[in-house]
Structure 1
Amino acid sequence: MMERLEATPSEPFSSSGPEIARATEMPKSTVREYFESAVVTVIMALFGMTFVVQAVKVPTGSMQNNILIGDHLLVNKFIFAERREGLFWRLFPYRDVRRGDVVVFKYPQNPEVNYVKRVIGLPGEAVEIRGTRVFVNERELPEHRLYVQNPRFDAEDSALQIVREEPSPEGARYRVYWESYHAERGGVDFPSGGRYAVGRPFLIPEHAYFVMGDNRDDSEDSRFWGTVPREYIVGRALVVYWSYDERAAAAHGGNLLLRILRHTRWKRVGTLIR
């Protein structure tokens, strides 16, 4: 907000030379300070967007309920970056991509678009999906499976409605969601969509990763278009800095500010992505 400055002199105006000089210098100094501050802010923002973090918006439900439609995420870009020489770059905690990481990456079929999925398979591993179960090198991946009525139906709060839950196996680090008909078949394997790793092992190439959405029946992922090259990975999803239910806001209409206040999911702000 800009303040309106008004002259309220308490003394008669003096036209002496030094006072005029001081009066004309002050605005220039103030303008210069604001300009320098703005330049520094822009540089820091560009540095952050380039090397450290990036903000992305989630437009689809492929990662529900762990990530909701309308979540705005900060992405840690440096964690998977190539190591650089110099003392400054040694301050950053680099590491390799791990199974279970939620990553943001360039969609292999259109690198201008960013996707967010979970890493399931690493380079050189064999992945196979049998019904609702995922096997890596012939060993079942421990996942906490929940079943929902309709994974493609986005409720007003964009959360899936859980109708059944399996016991969480030992070692499970995250939840995945399948449509309820999988559970109703009494454990009989029913193939999921896609053509890679579905019903038969798929060998992941070197320097590539097999990724899947947590909302398994509403996610186009590596089952459909293959693996993600290492160089396409932007970073690791870190935290929800803002979450906004656009569908509910559009349905209710009204003042923009009130819509933002009313339909921001305040409880999700600050949620860590796991």
Structure 2
Amino acid sequence: MEQKVVLITGGSSGIGKSIGIFLKLKGFKVYGTTRSKAKYPDFDAFDLLELDVKKEATITAAISELIKREAKIDVLINNAGVGITGPIEETPNEEILKAFDTNFHGPIRMMKGVLPQMRIQKSGLIINITSIAGYMGLPYRGIYSASKGALELVTEAMRMEIKDFGIQMTNLAPGDFATNIASGRYHAPVHKDSPYQKPYGATLTAINNDVDSGGDPIQVAHKVFAVINSSSPKVHYKVGDFMQKFSLLLKKILPDKVYEKLLLNHYKL
């Protein structure tokens, strides 16, 4: 069987690295991306390409290099993303725009970059890594939830637009996993004179604890592998612990205010 070529954005660490290592073990030709290869001089898990999802020129250059080497792109995994927390009122507009530039516009740029090649091939699969947080407005994570929710909806639309080209597209929404996302996340400062000081400070601690105690990201890699091997991928996939996935069922069946009360109780707000 011909070796499939996989491109993973944000592949140098966290969930992206776990996916790449697992797929390489399964026989795929894996390329990850990073904004700066110089930061990873000893990285040898798989090939890295320099690419910043916020900069179209780097996307064009990296995809051209990949096609030059492999003559095809079978799977794109849009994994690169950034976290952002804070009271929306106190979150600087420029930080909101930065988060959407990476989490929403970045994947769209990547999809636009690979679709012409996949159309030539009459085949291809795009997996957009979103988040269970994208299915609900979470307090002090509203901007993150919105950026991931927007990508979910764009995927729903695009998979219908590209179906006649033999190209498939799906969403994969992880819950909390133990990664280094908190280290690169923008979080609005907890100001002592802010009306949000106490509830935001407590919620930020809870968010960090959830990530630190999260599951092994290899679970996401296993799900990605299953999706790639599916002849007809679903529109949405979720991967996380039972309660995180169960919360999505509750959101569907409970009245809005009841579900809101559950969130308030969870975050002790």
Higher RCO (CA 8 Å, separation ≥ 6 residues)? 1
TM-score interval, smaller chain: under 0.3
Higher share of residues assigned helix: 2
Higher share of residues assigned strand: 1
